[in-house]
A and B are shown apart, each in its own frame.
Chain A
Amino acid sequence: MRNLLRLLLTRHAVYVLVSGLLLGGFQWLICAVVASTDVTGALGTLVQSLPPMVQSMVSEQFFGGFSKTSLLAFGWAHPVAQAVGAALAIVLATQAVAGESEAGTIELTLGQPIARQTYLAAHVVFTLAALVFVTLLGLAGTIAGGRFYGLEPFRLVALARLGLDYLALQAALFGLTLMFSAFGREGGRVALFGFLCALVSYLIHVIGTMWDGWRPLVPYTLHAYYVPKDILAGSVGVTRPVAMLLAVALGGLLVAWWRFRQRDLP
């Protein structure tokens, strides 16, 4: 397992580091924006010029009243922040089986004295470690940016919960994509399925929170259980959302493991 982990680190270290720096840099930037301009006032004025129904949707569903806390939380709910983690989770899951099969490298690797479960476990361990690393860099960006720009600091516990929820969301995407990967032979197609899962979940969640017609669908999306604003504000517990996301991750991993054990390779 150590040898495989070393190989994965050699191959993906730069990508993981860049992802972490991107997320951390983005959170720092959000702090800078929040501190340097009267964003709440500006957005408030902007929203007041909108029709009443749209005003209500934007202020309640997206920014929760435009407090600085909710704006910082918005940095974690922003598509950029989500895309960084999701891309890492989806790419690494795709690479694990389908990508290596397509590249042909899995044949020589599994011709060595390693069990299939060890191979898959190494990919899971590496990806989870990479996601933890990226999440920590993101949180570091929020903390350092907040201190640098003199913003009111969040409680560390609240930030840890936020990080856990972010990590659980990416773990769920990883689990689902790994499941596709275990069935697939073409990396491109598997990655597409992974991205579609993330995109469809995100879109249904966004539309469902704005439009009553789709509201019943919201609980069936992954993003319904990713609630950075509520976690930072302390209005919801982290246990249920994280448990739901981890259950999806575990389900995906179990199906991936079941399929990978019995499939022909490459």
Chain B
Amino acid sequence: MPALEVSSLAKRYGRVHALRGVTFAVEPGEIFGYLGPNGAGKTTTLRILLGLVRADHGTACLLGEPPGRPASRGRVGCLPGELRLHGGMTGRALLDHFARFRPSRPPVLRERLLEALDLGESDLARRVKWLSHGTRQKVGLVIAMQHDPDVILFDEPTIGLDPLVQRAFCDLVRELAARGRAILFSSHILSEVEAVCGRVAVLRAGELLAVESIETLRARLVRRLEAHFRGPTPDGLATLPGVMRAEVAGSAATLWLQGDVNPLLRRLAGCEVEHLVFPEPQLEDVFLDFYRGREGRG
């Protein structure tokens, strides 16, 4: 049985379609990426799963139960995308407050999480309103995971975290998944989804474009390469295998690549290259391929 499942989920806010027939399932032990730009409908999906928002159509199921049942939320941990905490409480008081909601599931992971996320006693002793954004986010992550939930819903979990803590957080997520926990990892940052998730759902304007493995997504990803040459840009770059598109401006060329990059690298090896920039793939690069595919089908 999937740990969480949504089927034909649709939601409208007035004239805006937040979700249009979204269907996917997350199995125990899986880290499922939920990828989409801001306003794609990711947060709405998570809120429906938590019973905060009611779907207009379709069904959602969390640990075999419909959303909104307090009992099922006892086995769930969540981190909202716009995390707001009671600022007047200390970090420690807040962790205790949220732990008390689940008397049958004590915060067994708390100390482990505090150590991994580098949250010290001095941070926890301060009122939350005086903490930095990143530290508040860490407190939110501990709240979400401290009771070792069976399902964890993360909405943009790494916002505000420094790179070292982001890495520690990703390790924690992998560790929890290895112990059979199901994790829905919603993000608009392709690289972090690529780094931790096994499968990914790609969402845009409330519509699910694809649900596929991270390998498949990576293979169809259109990556951008900027090459600056000493002298004029060599001819024939656009016709090389794997090069989808090329833009040349003087001694610089921007190339969009898909699949094997070796034919291009071999060609560049014979040129006088000033420098190469292979920027972090952006979410737009994923959509580029999906749109191309659709146009092709159309």
Contact = CB atoms under 8 A, between A and B. Distances in A.
A3 B93 CA distance: 12
Nearest to A10: B89
Contacts of B78: 108, 111
Interface in B58-76: 70-74, 76
B24 to A, nearest CB: 20
B98 interface: yes
A217 B81 CA distance: 49
A11 interface: yes
Contact of B80 (A7, A108, A114, A118): A108
Interface string A241-266: 00000000000000000000010111
Main secondary structure of the interface of B (DSSP, over half): loop
Given A110-B50, A264-B54, A104 B98 contact: no
Given A10-B89, A111-B50, A264-B53, A104 B82 contact: yes
Nearest to A263: B54
Nearest to B103: A3
A67 interface: no
B88 A11 contact: yes
A266 B97 contact: no
Contacts of B82: 104, 107
Contact of A112 (B53, B89, B101): B101
Interface in A52-110: 103-105, 107-108, 110
A108 B78 CA distance: 8
Given A111-B78, A265-B53, A3 B85 contact: no
A105 B84 contact: yes
A111 B52 contact: yes
A213 interface: no
Q: How large is the interface on A (under 10, 10 to 19, 20 to 34, 35 or more residues)?
A: 20 to 34
A118 to B, nearest CB: 8
A115 interface: yes
A41 to B, nearest CB: 50
A51 interface: no
B84 A103 contact: yes
A107 B52 contact: yes
A183 to B, nearest CB: 16
A265 B84 contact: no
A7 B97 contact: yes
The majority secondary structure among interface residues of chain A is helix
Interface in B78-121: 78, 80, 82-86, 88-89, 93, 97-98, 100-102
Contacts of B88: 10-11
A266 B84 CA distance: 12
Contacts of B182: none
Contact of A108 (B85, B100, B102): B85
B98 A113 contact: no
A3 B100 contact: yes
Q: Which of A107, A264, A266 has the most CB of B within 10 A?
A: A107
Contacts of B83: 104, 108
B73 A113 contact: yes
Contacts of B72: 113
Contacts of A264: 47, 52-54
Contact of B70 (A11, A104, A114): A114
A114 B52 contact: no
A113 B71 contact: yes
Nearest to A112: B101
Contacts of A6: 97
B86 A113 contact: no
B85 A105 contact: yes
A3 B103 CA distance: 11
A76 B184 CA distance: 57
Contacts of B70: 113-115, 118
A185 to B, nearest CB: 12
Interface string B31-73: 0000000000000000100111110000000000000001111
Interface string B107-144: 00000000000000000000000000000000010010
15 contacts: A3-B97, A3-B100, A10-B88, A10-B93, A104-B83, A107-B84, A108-B85, A111-B50, A111-B52, A111-B73, A111-B78, A113-B70, A262-B54, A264-B52, A266-B52
Interface of B: 47, 50-54, 70-74, 76, 78, 80, 82-86, 88-89, 93, 97-98, 100-102, 140, 143
Closest 9 CB pairs of A and B: A104-B84, A113-B74, A112-B101, A111-B78, A113-B70, A113-B73, A264-B53, A265-B52, A3-B100
